[in-house]
Structure 1
Amino acid sequence: MRQIASLVRRPVRRVSLNGETSVSDFIGHWTVNDQRQTVFVRGILPRAMLEGHILQLDEVDAMQPEIGFILQQVLEPQGHLLLTDTGEDIAPHADFRLVATANTLGFGSDSGLYSSGTHVLNFSWLDRWDVVVHIDYLPAKEEISLLKARHASLGKQMLTCLVKAAGDLRKAHAEEQLTTTVTTRRLLALCARLARGNDFQRALHTTLLNKVPPEDRKVIAEAFDHHVGPLANSK
């Protein structure tokens, strides 16, 4: 999102709705200023609306339900925000945009990977979003390029083998043969260890195998052994 905002030269504000973000953080609260006056301080949402920012809401499937209901009035056509504390009715700036991210579709975690801390979202809230985009893993060539940009010292052959192994394991997860998967973040962690001179097996264990259920470890280890093979022994 930050890259898109940079391309269109628009300011973006990012907030994690991880359950700790309160209604007062989001909407605003009363406080006493330096002059000992009681004033209302606008929160994250009204400031973004008035200033015309792109507001990126991360982890919306973990947000407090009260925040979701507040957002509903903003998500309506010609939506606005009524601050009940002050009576102020805020109409959004023409450039204001809302973007939300989540690891689930709001119906719970089918895979079980994201069950902890996430909630089933209100259907009427989900229905107010006009556009939903699924972001999958990068195509293999682009993922190799990403790894190479961070860890060129490993060589293209090694990086290609790592991405192939990850691709096979992601497919196995999609087919419910694995309970977990290999993310790009985990590949980057593995590459970082290898770039520091760690033995391949040690790096694989500390960044991947030690994080997965016992029943998945053998399958993941075999996939990397199959694709990386002799290259692992040369690192």
Structure 2
Amino acid sequence: MISLIESEKIKRNKRIYDAKDEALIQEGGYVSPISTLWDDILVGIVLKKPVLLKGPSGSGKTRLSQSISHFFNQPMHSVNCSVDLDAESLLGFKTIISKNGETHIEFVEGPVIEAMKKGHILYIDEINMAKPETLPILHSVLDHRRMMTNPFTGEVIHAHDDFTVIAAINEGYIGTSPMNEALKNRFLSYSIPYLSGEQLKELMEKLFPNAEQSLVQTMLNISADLQKQVMNGLLDEEAASIRSILDALSLSEHMPILRAVQYAIAEKLDDPIERSLVMELCETWVK
């Protein structure tokens, strides 16, 4: 019997997108740190529930979203939130154009409306960086109604059946604010932890097939130590970022490990004591 997820994948892969949309289909490659996490998130997607990915910077939230886009062969539009995000950034804007000697006002659709109409994935990155008063405009898009009235044109827009919303959040970071309950309750929420152990080793070997095993093992040891110190409260979460560890491994193929870790991890930290601790941990593994 075909599974719910595979059935939806087959259906969505039968959709025909034009050449412009094909460029929006993201590559896969996400490795799940929990065996059930990938399938559990896909179930939420198939059931047309907005999905909220919670986790520290570098835990793979964006890569996970890209992998969902690749899995369903479904284009993805990204919105990067900040305090400057406004309705026009989400929905689009009016502009004046000249056609056949006449001047017209035309509405240029933004990522939310384009994704709704075409049945694409809308990825909202760092959603808690946006001002709380900006996001209520999406409430009717995110709940059972899956529609909205464009405030700039008056058009009533009903979402395409394949329309999907994925949001990502870094909790407790500077510049973020707690999501209000009305917005948060519209999402299914999944915690995305860092990769470690054999899964991280598998990812490293896949991305860097020519790296020496001793180098991979050293980076795994450094990563485990960094994650332990983050859990002990001695290092900021950014120090254990998988993205940064992979950057360090990439550099280490061309320079000494200590310098690679310094550039990819330590120098990103604001606290000089934390920078020193990272380098001390690294030195214990570098012969």
How would you bin the TM-score normalised by the shorter chain? 0.7 to 0.9
The aligned amino acid for 1:221 is: M
Residue number in structure 2 paired with 1:68: 135
Residue number in structure 2 paired with 1:89: 156
Residue number in structure 2 paired with 1:33: 97
CA distance in 2, matches of 1:93, 1:223: 51
Select between 162-171 and 151-160 the one with higher mean Cα deviation: 151-160
Verify the 8 A CA contact 1:60 1:101 in the aligned structure 2.
yes
Residue 215 of structure 1 pairs with residue 273 of structure 2 = yes
The alpha carbon displacement at 1:21 in A equals 3.5
Change (3 A) 1:26 1:209: closer
Residue-by-residue CA offset, 1:50-98 (whole Å, 9 max, x unaligned) = 1111111111111233431111121221231011232211111111111
Residue 192 of structure 1 pairs with residue 259 of structure 2 = no
3-state DSSP class of the match of 1:154? Answer: coil
Verify the 8 A CA contact 1:144 1:156 in the aligned structure 2.
no
Residue-by-residue CA offset, 1:152-179 (whole Å, 9 max, x unaligned) = 4431222122112211221221221323
Residue 125 of structure 1 pairs with residue 192 of structure 2 = no
Residue number in structure 1 paired with 2:261: 204
The aligned amino acid for 1:229 is: V
Tell me, which stretches of 5 or more residues in structure 2 are unaligned? 1-64
Verify the 8 A CA contact 1:46 1:81 in the aligned structure 2.
no
Pairing 1:47-66 to 2, within 5 Å after superposition = 47-66=114-133
Larger RCO of the pair (alpha carbons < 8 Å, separation 6+): 2
3-state DSSP class of the match of 1:128? Answer: coil
CA distance in 2, matches of 1:93, 1:22: 24
Select between 78-87 and 198-207 the one with higher mean Cα deviation: 198-207
3-state DSSP class of the match of 1:34? Answer: strand
Change (3 A) 1:200 1:95: closer
3-state DSSP class of the match of 1:14? Answer: strand
Residue 144 of structure 1 pairs with residue 201 of structure 2 = yes
Aligned CA-pair RMSD: 2.0
Residue-by-residue CA offset, 1:197-227 (whole Å, 9 max, x unaligned) = x23333332333333322223432332223x
Change (3 A) 1:49 1:191: same
The aligned amino acid for 1:51 is: K
Q: How many residues align?
A: 218
CA distance in 2, matches of 1:54, 1:201: 40
Tell me, which stretches of 5 or more residues in structure 1 are unaligned? 231-235
Residue number in structure 2 paired with 1:233: none
Task: Name which one, 1 or 2, has greater alpha-carbon Rg.
Answer: 1
Residue 100 of structure 1 pairs with residue 167 of structure 2 = yes
Select between 65-74 and 177-186 the one with higher mean Cα deviation: 177-186
CA distance in 1, matches of 2:89, 2:276: 46
Q: So what's the TM-score if we normalise by structure 1? A: 0.83
Q: So what's the TM-score if we normalise by structure 2? A: 0.69
CA distance in 1, matches of 2:226, 2:282: 9
The aligned amino acid for 1:7 is: F
Residue number in structure 2 paired with 1:80: 147
The alpha carbon displacement at 1:37 in A equals 0.8
Residue number in structure 1 paired with 2:66: 2
CA distance in 1, matches of 2:92, 2:209: 47
